[in-house]
Structure 1
Amino acid sequence: MRIIGGKYRGLKLAELGAGDADAHLRPTSDRVREAIFNLLINGSHGADLDGARVLDLFAGTGALGLEALSRGAAHCTFVDDGAAARALMRANIEKTHTMGCTRVFRRDATKLGDNRGPGFSLVFLDPPYGKGMGEAALASALAGGWIAPDARIMWEEASPQLAPEGFELLDQRRYGETHVTLLRRKKAP
Structure 2
Amino acid sequence: MGEDGPVTRIVAGSMGGRRITVPPRGTRPTSERVREALFNAVESLVDLRGRRVLDLYAGSGALGLEALSRGAAEAVFVESDRRATLVLRRNIDTLRPQGAVVRPGTVASVLDSPADRPFDLVLADPPYDVPTDGLDAVLALLAHHGWTSPGSLVVVERAVRDRPPRWPAPLRALREKRYGDTILYWGDHDEDANGAKPSGETPGDAHAGG
Q: Normalising TM by the smaller chain, what interval?
A: 0.7 to 0.9
Are the counterparts in 2 of residues 79 and 109 from structure 1 also a CA contact under 8 Å?
A: yes
Q: What does residue 199 of structure 2 align with?
A: none
The C-alpha deviation readout for 1:69-88, integer Å capped at 9, x for no partner, is: 00010000011111111111
Judged with a 3 Å threshold, the aligned counterparts in structure 2 of structure 1 residues 156 and 40 are, in CA distance, closer, same or farther, namely: same
- Correspondence 1:153 to 2:168: no
Q: What does residue 117 of structure 2 align with?
A: 118
Q: What does residue 28 of structure 1 align with?
A: 30
Which residue of the other structure, out of 16, 19, 25, is the alignment partner of 1:9?
Answer: 16
Percent identity over paired residues: 38
Cα distance in 2 for partners of 1:150, 1:163 equals 15
- 3-state secondary structure, aligned to 1:165: coil
- Correspondence 1:174 to 2:172: no
Are the counterparts in 1 of residues 135 and 165 from structure 2 also a CA contact under 8 Å?
A: no
Cα distance in 2 for partners of 1:102, 1:115 equals 20
The C-alpha deviation readout for 1:1-35, integer Å capped at 9, x for no partner, is: 0000000000010243xx3x5xx211101111011
State how 1:1-189 maps to structure 2 within 5 Å: 1-16=8-23, 19=24, 21=25, 24-42=26-44, 46-98=45-97, 100-111=98-109, 112-129=111-128, 131-132=131-132, 133-159=134-160, 160-187=164-191, 188-189=194-195
- 3-state secondary structure, aligned to 1:13: strand
What TM-score do you get using the length of structure 1 for normalisation? 0.87
Cα distance in 2 for partners of 1:116, 1:15 equals 28
Are the counterparts in 2 of residues 149 and 186 from structure 1 also a CA contact under 8 Å?
A: yes
What TM-score do you get using the length of structure 2 for normalisation? 0.79
Cα distance in 2 for partners of 1:140, 1:179 equals 22
Number of residues of Structure 1 aligned to a counterpart in Structure 2: 180
Judged with a 3 Å threshold, the aligned counterparts in structure 2 of structure 1 residues 15 and 168 are, in CA distance, closer, same or farther, namely: closer
The C-alpha deviation readout for 1:139-171, integer Å capped at 9, x for no partner, is: 112222222221000110124445333222222
Question: What amino acid is the match of 2:19?
Answer: K
- 3-state secondary structure, aligned to 2:185: strand
Cα distance in 1 for partners of 2:115, 2:156 equals 24
Are the counterparts in 1 of residues 139 and 167 from structure 2 also a CA contact under 8 Å?
A: no
- What is the Cα-based RMSD across aligned positions, in Å? 1.7
Q: Structure 1 unaligned runs (5+)?
A: none
